Structure 1
Amino acid sequence: MEKIFIIEDEEKIRKELSTFLTRYGYECDYSRDFENIVHIALESNAHIILLDINLPYYDGFYICREIRKKLNVPVIIVTSRQSEIDELMSMNLGADDFIIKPYNTQILLARISSVLKRTYHNSDNDILIYKGLTFNISTSSMKFNDEEIELTKNESKILNILMKKKECIVSRNEIMDFLWQSNEFVDDNTLTVNINRLRKKLETIGAKEFLQTKRGQGYILL
């Protein structure tokens, strides 16, 4: 289920939008804390963000710019402001689409679906994103805070299963079974070496303490 984070200060619109999108199979989240909304949005682990422009504390342009500094998560500006300058600024700041209120709900759904497909579903879901960490399966590389590093085949497979089961403990046996699918010999020591190398590469690009060991249980991505 894809998660949408809604940044909208009008409670009625926010609730109606959340109810509508939930009905179509999306998981929706939002916050009333607009003073800390950038941090909350970054921590939401959403697949896409719907962002209004006129907001308390910070406008949507500032929020979009700050999110773009940390994450590649797609952003759709949803606003009542109809100026071409607003649309141009939104796109220049990295927004993926611009929709004017009042909008046709079916068109909004189509725009969301289009952006999600363009971002995540090209090349058979080759892109995985978790808390700012972007893993490109097709290129065996990961990126965090604009720092990118390449992975070996086994490191890539380990990160793959950990990201798909994020925040859940994955046992050593489960990881080894997953690696065996490639017909490569992987013993207990080889797994330990690859885990340590992956952890070091994560730390190299700034993703510290992401990969944690649960003694006697396995590994978890937090």
Structure 2
Amino acid sequence: MFTLLLIEDDESLYREIRERLEQWSFSVHGIDDFSKVIERFSEVKPDLVIIDIQLPKYDGFHWCRMIRNHSTVPIIFLSSRDHPTDMVMSMQLGADDFVQKPFHFDVLVAKIQALLRRAYNYTADSQTLQTWYGAKIDYEKYTVSNEHGEITLTKNEMFILKQLLQHKNKTLSRDELIKALWDDERFISDNTLTVNVNRLRKRLEEIDLGKHIHTKVGQGYMAMEEVY
């Protein structure tokens, strides 16, 4: 699990970003005292930092400069301002990327994963095993097995299943699935997505799991799981 430090003073936005990133198995920490960012940085020891430009006490540029005096950790700037000089300044201070608010959350995740890959040889597929309704899913072998048997999925089918399981009990839109596939260099069209999802569901039906993949008409798809 990678540790992220989110330096954001908008509490509602902070909570939203933290909740979404935690769904991707990131450990997210925030700032309580914006005059002690470096102390918090030293305490958390993050693998990546996300900084808003407009902050109380000192702006994000100041804290980026201070962090760079201590570390080469990847840094992403967030900003609601649209001045080109903000992006130039952030890069000159040593930031690795810049995200303009408002942003699509998948864009932020893709940028985080890209920076982690470059910095730590991380891959989003680093999790190899998972259980779901008593079935064992092996992402490396592309297999799903339970008491009813074992099936082997194609790479696209397994990728789609993993995306759905990372958002269990929540609808994942068709656009989000297609974008995730494209970001992973699995080039797929809208029609091909339908074929892949239908094929995935039929394969899962062989071991009595197909009923747990739901189609939300006009919205997308959802992997269900019981909540205890």
Q: Counterparts of 1:132-147 in structure 2 under 5 Å?
A: none
The one-letter code of the counterpart of 2:56 is: P
Indicate the larger mover: 35-44 or 1-10.
35-44
What is the match of residue 41 of structure 1? 41
Q: Counterparts of 1:23-34 in structure 2 under 5 Å?
A: 23-34=23-34
1:8 aligns with 2:1: no
The one-letter code of the counterpart of 1:102 is: P
When normalised by structure 1's length, the TM-score is 0.54
What is the match of residue 112 of structure 1? 112
Deviation string 1:99-124 (CA, Å, 9 cap, x unpaired) is: 001001011100000011111118xx
The one-letter code of the counterpart of 1:65 is: R
Structure 2: how far apart are the matches of 1:36 and 1:45?
Answer: 14
Shift of 1:43: 2.5
Matched position secondary structure for 1:50: strand
Structure 2: how far apart are the matches of 1:23 and 1:85?
Answer: 33
Structure 2: how far apart are the matches of 1:58 and 1:26?
Answer: 27
The one-letter code of the counterpart of 1:91 is: M
Shift of 1:79: 1.2
Two-structure CA RMSD over aligned residues (Å): 1.0
Matched position secondary structure for 1:39: helix
What is the match of residue 178 of structure 1? none
Q: How much identity, in percent, do the aligned residues show? A: 37
Shift of 1:24: 1.1
What is the match of residue 65 of structure 1? 65
The one-letter code of the counterpart of 1:5 is: L
Matched position secondary structure for 1:66: helix
Structure 1: how far apart are the matches of 2:39 and 2:66?
Answer: 9
Structure 1: how far apart are the matches of 2:42 and 2:83?
Answer: 28
Shift of 1:32: 1.8
1:99 aligns with 2:104: no
Shift of 1:39: 1.9
Shift of 1:73: 0.8
Structure 1: how far apart are the matches of 2:35 and 2:69?
Answer: 18
Q: Retained in 2: the 8 A contact 1:42–1:71? A: no
Shift of 1:76: 0.2
Indicate the larger mover: 28-37 or 46-55.
28-37
Structure 2: how far apart are the matches of 1:43 and 1:81?
Answer: 30
When normalised by structure 2's length, the TM-score is 0.52
What is the match of residue 55 of structure 2? 55
The one-letter code of the counterpart of 2:30 is: Y
Unmatched runs of 5 consecutive residues or more in structure 2: 123-228
What is the match of residue 84 of structure 2? 84
Structure 2: how far apart are the matches of 1:118 and 1:84?
Answer: 25
Structure 1: how far apart are the matches of 2:4 and 2:98?
Answer: 16
Shift of 1:77: 0.2
Deviation string 1:14-46 (CA, Å, 9 cap, x unpaired) is: 011000000111111112210111221232111
Unmatched runs of 5 consecutive residues or more in structure 1: 123-222
Q: Counterparts of 1:123-202 in structure 2 under 5 Å?
A: none
Structure 1: how far apart are the matches of 2:80 and 2:112?
Answer: 18
Number of equivalenced pairs:
122
Matched position secondary structure for 1:14: helix
The one-letter code of the counterpart of 1:110 is: A
Deviation string 1:104-157 (CA, Å, 9 cap, x unpaired) is: 1011100000011111118xxxxxxxxxxxxxxxxxxxxxxxxxxxxxxxxxxx
Structure 1: how far apart are the matches of 2:30 and 2:15?
Answer: 9
Matched position secondary structure for 1:70: coil
